[in-house]
Amino acid sequence: MDSAWSQLALVTSAAPAALLVALVVLGAYVRYRRSAKYRYPPGPRALPFIGNVHQLPVNYQWRKMAEWGREHGDVVFAKFFRTPAVILNSKEAAVELMEKRSAKYSDRPPFILLKDLMGWDSVLNNLPYGERFRKHRKWLQEAFASKAVVMGYRPIQRRETYMLLSGLCDSPEHFMDHLKRWAGGVILEIAYGYRVTSLNDPLVEVAERTTVETVLGGSPGSMLVDFFPILRYIPLWMPGSGFKRQAFFVKSLVRQTLDTPFAMVQRALRTGTAAPSFTATLLEEAVAAGSLTAEHEEDIKGAAGVIYTAGTDTTVTAMKTFILAMVLHQDVYKKAQAEIDRVIGPDRLPDFEDREQLPYLECVLKEVFRWNAPVPLGVPHAVSHHDVYRGYDIPEGAMVIPNIWWMTQDPDVYPDPARFDPDRYLHMSAEEAEHTDPRNVVFGFGRRVCPGQIFADASVWLAAANIIATMDLGFAKDNFGRDIVPEAAFISGFVSHPKEFTCSFHARSSRIRGLIAHMSAVNIVTS
């Protein structure tokens, strides 16, 4: 009798386990049957449950994705745990899907880490496609897409560029800090009417720290919580919850970055001392219309915040890349300098109106964006509706990753891509030049393209032209007087910063130093 009861208890206790196994097998079968009816693009073989995650290295993932492209074609299908992913390794495929079919390819993956845990849920980069996205996009396009509006920012761009030159004359060893100040000075005045007056400005410092800590906390889609959202509920005392502690720390920085300058503009508006700015304009319009709700305030904070956080980091990266390239290729620098000397002459500094007369400089800057694409994998899009491309199924909910790095490194488009070579563009036809211009891919695609690309490109052009016109640039020296030759290397991260390097800046003459001082003084007074 006891034996019978023991057997019954054994059967009873085993039933839940058997049921669980049956459910798992059934779920796997259903998923198999569901996927079997689709014909996905070719890609690397995936393992059950983990998909292709085990094949991706921790660093420089764009290189592995490019390998997949060379093996399987420019449209690659992979799975990262349960999430299907479509990797685009050519400009043609990216344009066809994310621009020509943008109605289906403009959404964003959930980004649980960035949005829900870190608090970046009110910035355009992370908004799902919908009414709120269109609202932010409209504001930013009105502020940056119109040529007339962008031309209105030129006095600020000039003043901050001359301040950059002054800083390079006075303390060239701090050139990295001068670049951050330059980019922050331009953007903070446009976004908030705030003038940066020192290298250790508090708003610049907190925004930079926020950006750095966000990257340390995890790139978009890179953390397990993005693939298994239930992990967001893990208690802080449990092992493995360190990502949440870091995320909550970042969230406090994000609130400072968004709230502090916004409150500053609000106070200035109340006292009648507010300078013209993106934030002030939106606040005044909302007050006049009676629509300034808490939600509307958060939208203004997010729209203004993305101008600063997204705009400065990538712009500084482009300028660091420019300086690194010029240090390593001083023949290119001297050739660009000769062009500017010939066109501009010794009595003034380059200005926006000179751009069309400086074709070699244009080639240099194209090559800067190509040599080191600032955001190698862009920000992933998401597919909102099932699609078919080249006879292959693109499933709803798939993450779409444009491999911008490979689009700018493909040897079939750019022979010897590792070499910095502005001359590659010199003798192209107009059609070839347009097709190979890396600026057509590095700013993103479709309805998610960077709305400030014209403004950012103009800022980089003006700063680069004026550095070339006024500075001799070369290797720094060690204690024995030997050249310190920097490495042409870039960090692995969401934004591809050049690795830290040193170099030497010197004003070309005392006359040029005087011209810089004069232009700085005049533009401080008039802008």
In this structure, what token pair is assigned to residue 523?
């533009």
Residue 485 carries which side chain, given as an amino acid letter? V
Phi-psi region of 419 (alpha: psi -120 to 50; beta: other; left: phi over 0): beta
**Residue the block writes with tokens 């800083």:** 167
* Contact of 131 with 405, CB cutoff 8 Å: no
Residue corresponding to tokens 């729209």: 303
| 517 half-sphere exposure, CB direction, 13 A CA radius | 9
Any idea of the CA torsion for 384, 387, 389, 391, to the nearest 10 degrees? 150
Residues 493 and 483: beta-carbon distance below 8 Å? no
- Residue 208's Cα: distance from chain center in Å? 14
How many angstroms separate the most distant Cα atoms in the chain?
109
Tell me how far apart the alpha carbons of residues 196 and 524 are, in angstroms, rounded to a whole number.
12
Query: Is 503 marked as a binding-site residue?
Result: no
Alpha helices in 345-409 (DSSP H): 359-371, 404-407
Which among 121, 193, 209 is positioned nearest to 156, based on CA atoms? 193
* Rounded Cα distance, 84 and 53, in Å: 11
Closest CA to 442 of 360, 354, 365, 361: 365
- Residue 407, both tokens: 């689009």
- Of how many residues is the chain composed? 527
Cα gap 432→118, rounded to integer Å: 43
- Tokens (6 digits) for 261: 């300058």
Measure the CA–CA gap between 157 and 146, rounded to whole angstroms: 16
- How far is 415 from 129, CA to CA, in rounded Å? 37
Distance set, CA 87 to CA 34, 101, 129, 331 (Å): 22, 16, 20, 37
Cβ-based burial of 470 (10 A; exposed 0-12, middle 13-18, buried ≥19): buried
Are 85 and 358 a contacting pair, CB within 8 Å?
Answer: no
Composition of the chain by helix, strand, coil, percent to 5:
60, 10, 30
Residue type, 336: A
Q: Rounded distance, CA 406 to CA 92, Å?
A: 12
Give the residue numbers of the binding site for heme.
Answer: 450
Give the residue numbers of the binding site.
Answer: 450
